[in-house]
């Protein structure tokens, strides 16, 4: 690769040893390049395959129709899409206040012992297997009530949002210069107004982006919903009843033996990844606008 060749050592000495070292260097550098290329291959394969398979199965009726019985072509996942939106709504109600509150705490108490501990545990919680969250929510929110419910599912993925939202909020609040905080305090702002009206508002763009990314992440979560929201073949918006969800439906359909359902699973996967893609691009643009130009 030309990049690699251009600046390998320029110290004179034309001994064979130097030559060997140079060749070794070029080989290794090329290998890292190959590794990078291989790392990207699966993504391209997934996107390409989804586009080919998914786009073929995707139609307007996928968004507007209920699932069709086995053997009947067509149908859609309208109930699952709405169900996922409902679940995200519950998750945000659970996860956002805690996540943003904890993030603000971490940013404002930087360096305190409790803050360090909470930050560490938030990172650990972030690595919690989603299936563990699923059985926890079942034991805690399903078993005592005797039935699966949208609330339990939403709470489970809401809990998974908390560490994500906490860390982004902290990160974004820390980019707000200390001088701004001092200016507000010197003007007679109480701390809580300084924190909410000046600091949080200034960091809001970044936090919204972080929240979107967290939403995209949990929107695709399946494992925590298996034994909580459970899924539902019918139209249901009752929060205390089982509710359909896009990732659950994809899982069930993909595992089925019918080609029609496989096609539906593809379509659902395409919608999910489309959501992730759009949010990631938005997040990228917002972060770039934030850190690229403007005032420091």
Partner 1 sequence: MTPLPVPTTGPSQEPRSFRHPGPPTGSADASSGTVRRAPVIQGTVIADRVYRLTLVFFALCIPALLLLIFVVVGSAGWPALHHFGFSFLTSSAWDPVNGLFGAAPAIVGTVLTSVIALVVATPLALGGAIFLSEFSPSWLRQPLSFLVDLLAAVPSVVYGVWGMFFFLPLLRTSVMPFLRDTLHLGATPFFSGPIYGPSVLAAGLILAIMVLPYIAAVSREVLVAVPRSQREAALALGATRWETIAGAVIPYARTGIIGGVILGLGRALGETMAVTMLIGNRHELSASLLAPGYTMASLIANEFTEATTDLHKATLMAVGFVLFVMTLVVNAIARLLVRRVSEVRV
Partner 2 sequence: MTDLAELRNEARPPTAVSSSGPVMAVQTMGLNAYFGDTHAVRDVTLDIPPNEVTAIIGPSGCGKSTLLRCLNRMHETVPRARVEGSVLLHEQDIYADDVDPITLRRHVGMVFQRPTPFPTMSIRDNVAAGLCVQPERALSRRQVDEVVERALCEAALWDEVKDRLRTSATGISGGQQQRLCIARALATSPHVLLLDEPTASLDPMSTQKIEELVYELRRTMTVVIVTHNMQQAARVSDRTVFMLSGEMVEAAPTRDMFTTPGDPRTEAYITGRFG
- With contacts defined by CB under 8 A, name the span among 44-52, 59-67, 96-104, 179-187 that binds partner 2: 179-187
- Does 193 help bind partner 2 (rule: CB under 8 A)? yes
Sequence-ordered list of residues with C-beta below 8 angstroms from that of 223, at least 6 positions apart, any chain: 129, 130, 131, 133, 134
Answer with the entry of partner 1, partner 2, none that 180 interacts with (C-beta below 5 to 8 A by kind).
partner 2
Measured from the CB of residue 235, what is the shortest distance to partner 1 in angstroms?
22
**Would you say 136 or 189 has its CB closer to partner 2?**
189
**Would you say 141 or 203 has its CB closer to partner 2?**
203
**Would you say 43 or 186 has its CB closer to partner 1?**
43
Answer with the entry of partner 1, partner 2, none that 198 interacts with (C-beta below 5 to 8 A by kind).
partner 2
Strand partners, 111: none
Cβ neighbours, 10 Å, residue 34: 11
- Does 290 help bind partner 2 (rule: CB under 8 A)? no
Answer with the entry of partner 1, partner 2, none that 217 interacts with (C-beta below 5 to 8 A by kind).
partner 1
Measured from the CB of residue 198, what is the shortest distance to partner 2 in angstroms?
6
Q: How far is CA 186 from the centre of its chain?
A: 39
Answer with the entry of partner 1, partner 2, none that 70 interacts with (C-beta below 5 to 8 A by kind).
none
List the structure tokens of 224. Answer: 């925590």
Measured from the CB of residue 270, what is the shortest distance to partner 1 in angstroms?
9
CB 150 within 8 A of CB 106: no
- Does 37 help bind partner 2 (rule: CB under 8 A)? no
Measured from the CB of residue 38, what is the shortest distance to partner 1 in angstroms?
6
- With contacts defined by CB under 8 A, name the span among 62-70, 151-159, 199-207, 240-248 that binds partner 2: 199-207
The residue count for binding partner 2 (CB under 8 A) is: 20
Which one of 130, 202, 233, 287 is in contact with partner 2 (CB under 8 A)?
A: 202
- Does 217 help bind partner 2 (rule: CB under 8 A)? no
23 burial class (0-12, 13-18, 19+ CB within 10 angstroms)? Answer: exposed
Answer with the entry of partner 2, partner 1, none that 45 interacts with (C-beta below 5 to 8 A by kind).
partner 1
CA–CA dist 151, 87 (Å, integer): 8
By CB under 8 A, the residues from 119 to 178 that bind partner 2 are: 177
List the structure tokens of 267. Answer: 């379509």
Measured from the CB of residue 140, what is the shortest distance to partner 2 in angstroms?
38
Measured from the CB of residue 183, what is the shortest distance to partner 2 in angstroms?
4
Q: Interface with partner 2 by CB under 8 A: which residues?
A: 111, 177, 179-180, 182-190, 193, 198, 201-202, 204, 294-295
């Amino acid at each position: 690769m030309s990049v690699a060749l251009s600046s390998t050592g320029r110290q004179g000495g034309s001994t064979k040893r130097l030559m060997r070292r140079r060749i070794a260097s070029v080989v290794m550098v090329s290998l890292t390049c190959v590794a990078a290329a291989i790392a990207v291959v699966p993504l391209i394969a997934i996107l390409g395959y989804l586009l080919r398979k998914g786009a073929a199965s995707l139609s307007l009726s996928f968004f507007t129709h209920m699932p069709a019985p086995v053997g009947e072509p067509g149908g859609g996942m309208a109930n699952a899409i709405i169900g996922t939106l409902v679940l995200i709504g519950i998750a945000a109600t659970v996860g956002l206040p805690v996540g943003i509150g904890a993030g603000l705490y971490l940013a404002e108490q930087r360096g305190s012992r409790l803050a360090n501990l909470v930050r560490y545990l938030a990172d650990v919680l972030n690595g919690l297997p989603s299936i563990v969250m699923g059985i926890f929510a079942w034991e805690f929110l399903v078993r005592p009530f005797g039935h699966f419910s949208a609330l339990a599912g939403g709470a489970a993925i809401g809990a998974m949002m908390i560490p994500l939202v906490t860390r982004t909020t902290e990160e974004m609040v820390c980019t707000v210069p200390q001088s701004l905080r001092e200016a507000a305090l010197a003007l007679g702002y109480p701390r809580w107004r300084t924190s909410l009206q000046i600091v949080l508002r200034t960091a809001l763009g970044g936090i919204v982006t972080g929240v979107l990314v967290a939403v995209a992440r949990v929107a695709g979560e399946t494992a925590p919903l298996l034994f909580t929201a459970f899924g539902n073949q019918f139209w249901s918006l009752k929060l205390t009843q089982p509710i359909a969800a896009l990732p659950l439906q994809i899982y069930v359909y993909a595992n089925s033996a019918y080609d029609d359902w496989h096609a539906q699973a593809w379509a659902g996967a395409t919608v999910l990844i489309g959501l992730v893609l759009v949010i990631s691009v938005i997040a990228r643009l917002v972060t770039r606008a934030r850190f690229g130009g403007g005032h420091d």
